[in-house]
A = this chain, B = another copy of it.
Amino acid sequence: MQLLRSLCRIPAPAGNEVALTRFILDYVQRTQAAWRHQPVVIADDRFQDCVLLVFGQPRTAVFAHLDSIGFTVRYGRQLVRIGGPQAEAGYRLVGMDSQGQIDCTLTIDEETGELGYAFHRDIDRGTELTFYCDFRETDTTVQSCYLDNRLGVWNALRLCETLEHGVVAFSCWEEHGGGSVAYLAKFINETYGVRQALISDITWVTEGVHAGQGVAISLRDSLIPRRAYVDRIRAIATQSGIPHQLEVEGSGGSDAKELQHAAAPWDWCFIGAPEDHVHSPDELVDKRDIASMLALYQVLMQEL
């Protein structure tokens, strides 16, 4: 879990993912010699702060978003949300501005509900703040801010160790309306003819999806993937014997939104471990669900 811990600690709020991009590129460079197959690494101006790893003759692409939720400093001591973070007075927020490191506290106006910060000085307008990372690990769980989606990124990186054919795409802006998957998908589709996707992201523990019972295969959220594709995935999952659960939601979204609306016939399915305390500094995931997530991705990338 040392890799996951490192990933969780790097600030990468939507729109400013560059620190995590650099970490990924460095990690790939340091690690790939030990991987079973070598990918083509694509990361240049055509892809902003995204990274593509292309293995062999790909049939399926895995999308894992780099960015996280957070807050932007507005005027006075106001904060504006990046994505949809939980907000509780007292949350510890960190960042950096022209005057240096910031380690401040989230405040909530009791009357207006307006978000703000308490700090010994004013923070530069437009500065991004993220949750302070308190990474906690037990025999059975990991807990930290930003498991959504550093765990999806971790899953994608670990998948690379054995992957023979496939694209691994690290995307940006997912938590705040999207903005990179449209062009990533276009490039992947037009260059490799790929139109199958798996969304390596984290979902919710709910009344129907329980911690420790396996990775969740989402049958739908606010969008509905094509039934025929999801049925193929379910058959492979059942065949594999890997523990998994079926999720059915009416809300929520992912990088799949941009695939669904792309001008190419993408099939997609969201497959991810469930977490508790969603979008808070205390996101909690069962290690068994992490293990089954990686195992299922390994099988699916072979079978699909």
A residues within 8 Å of B by Cβ? 14-16, 18, 45-49, 72-76, 80-82, 125-126, 128, 173, 176-180, 182-183, 185-186, 195, 206-208, 219-220, 222-228, 246, 248-250, 258, 260-265, 267
Taking the closest CB of chain B, its distance from the CB of A220, in whole angstroms, is: 6
Counting chain B CB atoms within 10 Å of each CB, the highest count among A49, A126, A173, A225 belongs to A126
Contact residue among B16, B128, B228, B264 (Cβ-Cβ distance under 8 Å from A18):
B228
What residues on B are CB-neighbors of A206 within 8 Å?
A: 75
Apart from A72-B220, A80-B250, what 7 extra A-B contacts exist at CB < 8 Å?
Answer: A46-B265, A75-B208, A125-B248, A126-B220, A177-B223, A182-B263, A186-B263
Q: Which chain B residue lies CB-closest to A47?
A: B265
A261 touches B262 (CB 8 A): no
Evaluate contact between A248 and B75: CB separation under 8 angstroms.
Answer: yes
Contacts A/B (CB < 8 Å), 7 sampled: A15-B220, A18-B228, A80-B250, A125-B208, A125-B219, A125-B246, A262-B263
Q: In whole angstroms, how far apart are the Cα atoms of A80 and B177 in the complex?
A: 23
Distance of A221 from chain B, by nearest CB (Å)? 10
Sorted from nearest, which 10 A-B pairs have the closest CB atoms?
A: A75-B208, A15-B224, A126-B219, A16-B227, A80-B250, A186-B263, A182-B263, A74-B248, A179-B260, A48-B265
Give A265 to B265 CA distance when docked, in angstroms. 21
On whether A265 and B183 interact (CB within 8 A), knowing A80-B248, A226-B48, A248-B126, the answer reads: yes
CB of B45 within 8 A of CB of A265, answer yes
The answer on a CB contact under 8 Å between A179 and B223 is yes
A225 CB → nearest B CB, Å? 7
In the complex, chain B residues whose CB is within 8 Å of the CB of A263: 182-183, 185-186, 262-263
Which residues of B lie under 8 Å from residue A249 when comparing CB positions?
74, 80
Find out whether the CB atom of B261 lies under 8 angstroms from the CB atom of A178: yes
CB distance from A258 to the nearest CB of B (A): 7
The reply to whether B126 and A246 form a contact with Cβ atoms under 8 Å apart is yes
Q: Is the CB of B178 within 8 A of A227?
A: no
Assess the B75–A207 pair: CB atoms within 8 A.
Answer: yes
- Is B207 a contact partner of A176 (Cβ separation < 8 A)? no
CB contacts (< 8 Å) of A248 on chain B: these are: 72-75, 80, 125-126
Q: Contact between A81 and B250 (Cβ–Cβ < 8 Å)? A: yes
Q: How far is the CB of A41 from chain B (nearest CB, A)?
A: 17
Given A182-B263, A248-B72: A220 and B80 interface contact (C-beta under 8 Å)? yes
Instruction: State in angstroms the CA–CA spacing of A76 and B125 once bound together.
Output: 48
Contact present for B182 and A262 (CB under 8 Å)? yes
A211 to chain B, nearest CB (A): 15
| Residues in B whose Cβ lies below 8 Å from that of A227 | 15-16, 18, 128
Most buried by B among A15, A81, A185: A15
A225 to B173, CA, bound (A): 9
Q: Tell me the complex Cα distance, A219–B34, Å.
A: 42
